[in-house]
Amino acid sequence: MCGIIGLFPGTEKEVQQKITLLTHRGKDAQNLLSVGEGAVGHVLHALVGEVPQPVQGQGMLLYNGEIYNWQELANQYAPKARNDTETLLALLDEFGPEKIPERVDGVYAYAYITDDHIILQRDILGVKPLWYDASEGLRFASEKKVLETAREVHPRSTIYYNRLTKKIHSTTRPLTFGTHELSLDDSLREAVKKRIPDNNRVGVLFSGGVDSSLIAHLAHQLGAEVTLYVAALHDPEKKEPHDILAARSAAKQLELPLVEVRATLDEVQQLLPELCERIEDSNVIKVGVALPLWLCAKKAAKDEIRVLFSGLGAEEVFAGYQRHKNAGDVNNECMRGLRAMHERDLYRDDIVGMSHTLEIRLPLLDHAVISAGLRIPGEEKIVDGMGKMPLRQAAQRLGLPKEICYRPKKAAQYGSQFDAALDKIARGHGKTKSAYLRELYPVNSRLCALLSSGKDSVYALHTMKKLNHDIVCAATVITENPHSYMYHAPLAKAAELQAQSLGLPHLCEYALSDEKEEELEALKHVLLTAKHTFAIDGVVSGALFSNYQRERIERICEELGLAVHAPLWHLDQEMEVREILDAGFEFILVRVAADGLDKSWLGRVITHEDVDLLTKKLGLNVAGEGGEYESLVLNGPGFAHPLVLSDIQITCDEEGSSPLCEIRAHVALDK
């Protein structure tokens, strides 16, 4: 693996200054080169032939990655190629970037430079990172911290920069994994086999669960020299962490050496500033997961391990999370998770591994494994409440002890007790975990909140701010269609006042058509404006259970190269409403359309007693997910001024199966 950088315009001196931030990514070689009006740099961590970069053919290539079928491709297209870098260059010279994803089996991020263009592309899941800044020319780098302002090259986008006109555009491709006919068992075995390095030594990030145990078992069967690594908190006042006990038991059954890495509370606190800076994040979950990974990678690097295997991906492919159990379409939910992995997991893990000049390889995200996993019907993935059933069954067929195959899952941050450590450290400073970590790394992603004026969108915005994301603007689409499945209609114009009270710039677009799909053009336009005006990385959605909304938001954001954050997705409805009230938000109902709800519910601030009535007596979807009501948030955390209503009129339509009553009013800020 490697690190790449390019500055157009730029000089070798400027590249030299910035490449110091990437030296941990490769210590085998470092090269700088002037290229016309710009300059490039590369640091090499050689695992397949030590060929310094950039490499030159018809075009010039800077590349970070691993192509597992490079020898097969070289035999066909580049017989003189010495490694995957030279093979990729030959493919680009002959076919251009459009054909790379369908021919290449591997993970990669590259810049391909010709006399008139610079092309940036990544593997379709985004295992290997790449960032760019197009504010003045084009600058790109493997890590965000290298550039003053940076945006992620979306895994399903290809960036084209014209060196002559200085204009930039992108193309997109769908998330697909090709045609693979291997069985699940065979694809798992092959996925591990192709990732074993030439020196035959691998470490495995180990928890004693089915994912990491299966990888270790297969690697050992295939002749690799395997060392297992587990990390956890060392606190004499606590019981031994779950992951330590499980790892010891599994390692003994597998007859493989286990290295335990322990950190005290003081050591964790000392590590946190460096860790947050390296992963460029202060999200509590991301930091909690990164802690054991960091400690294992550091120890493995000292042991001269250059490749670590991780079981990341199993939960998404084989349905291991609670949200899969709640989903109506399990495989659809699996695909959603896979789309989001580049933002949620992959960048963090790449950074942690490369911080120790060590590559993390992911057999369970092999395209053949994913393809086999997605062919399995969703109802077969969760059996009697236990997820990942096909993987567990395959592991048993492949010889893993049954006890390990069916061991329940415990998330890394909890099984290692590092989440408890974060909580204890934060409380020692009189802060929540998020507030404490925010002091170490103040801001994460730049996001635009989709604001409808209702409780879900406002609470989703609030939730993402608590996770230390920077909400830089709010956007609203207003429709005159009272039956829209996509947009909140009653008093939607109040969203502008909410944004003003929250101190956010507000973008608004009107849906000019009532047609379902044509309504989406307004959303696409407003998000495109937000992307260009505020350089957003992603979007916050208040979607709770509406597949209709979420799928369409994700489709548009995928096209625009934006991440989607839906922090309330599949949250229990009663829990969500009570959390909103407990957080201090005041909201009213502005439309009701269900038996048991009449005009007496309109305009009154909802309380916990009302929630009791909605759930226990009326038996309704308490969050209004069935269209029972629409809400308006008047006040809450972050509001400089509450909203007030005047000139209130209530209209009711008694026709239909349920009466529909709604408020029409003038809305203003109470200053």
pLDDT tens sequence across 212-267: 999 999 999 999 999 999 999 999 988 999 999 999 999 999 999 999 999 999 99
Contacts 24+ apart (CB under 8 A), 8-14: 8/35, 8/36, 8/37, 8/38, 8/118, 8/137, 8/138, 8/139, 8/161, 8/163, 9/37, 9/38, 9/136, 9/137, 10/38, 10/39, 10/137, 10/139, 11/39, 12/39, 12/41, 14/39
pLDDT tens per residue across span 550-609: 888 998 998 888 889 999 998 888 989 999 999 999 999 998 988 888 889 999 899 999
Tell me what percent of the residues of the chain surpass a pLDDT of 70.
Answer: 95
Higher-scoring residue by pLDDT: 493, 82? 82
User: SS3 for 263?
Assistant: strand
Give the model confidence (pLDDT) of 333-381 as tens digits. 999 999 999 988 999 999 999 999 999 999 999 999 999 999 999 999 9
Task: Say which DSSP state 214 is in.
Answer: H
What pLDDT sits at residue 654?
Answer: 66
CA separation for the pair 1, 355 (Å, rounded): 12
* pLDDT of amino acid 598: 87
Q: Rounded to whole angstroms, how far apart are CA atoms 349 and 402? A: 29
Q: What is the pLDDT of residue 319?
A: 96
Residue pair 567/449 in contact by the 8 Å Cβ criterion: no
Band (49; pLDDT cuts 50, 70, 90): low
Mean pLDDT of the chain: 91
Q: State the Cα–Cα distance between residues 623 and 213, nearest whole angstrom.
A: 41
Q: Range with the lowest mean pLDDT among 275-289, 477-491, 615-629?
A: 477-491
The predicted pLDDT at position 328 comes to: 85
Give residue 657's pLDDT.
56
CB 594 within 8 A of CB 629: yes
Number of other CB atoms surrounding residue 20 within 10 Å: 11
Outline where DSSP puts E strands in 246-320: 258-263, 307-309
Q: Quick one: average pLDDT of 522-534?
A: 93
Rounded-to-integer distance, Cα 479 and Cα 541, Å: 17
Examine the pLDDT at 485 and tell me if it is beyond 60. no
pLDDT at 653: 79
Most confident of 137-141, 476-480, 559-563: 137-141
CB atoms within 10 A of CB 66: 23
CA–CA gap between residue 310 and residue 292 (Å, rounded): 12
For the record, the structure tokens of 667 come out as: 């809305």
pLDDT digits (tens, 9 = 90+) for 422-433: 999 999 999 999
Of the two residues 493 and 92, the one the predictor is more confident about is 92
| Higher pLDDT pick, 546 / 408 | 408
User: E-assigned strands of 206-295?
Assistant: 225-233, 258-263
For 409, residues 6+ apart whose C-beta sits below 8 A from its C-beta are: 209, 315, 320, 387, 388
Does residue 118 carry a pLDDT above 90?
yes
Tell me, what's the pLDDT at 655?
63
Interatomic CA distance for residues 231 and 289, integer angstroms = 11
**Span 274-296, average pLDDT:** 95
pTM (predicted TM-score): 0.85
pLDDT of 656? 55
Give the Cα separation of 43 and 81 in Å (integer): 20
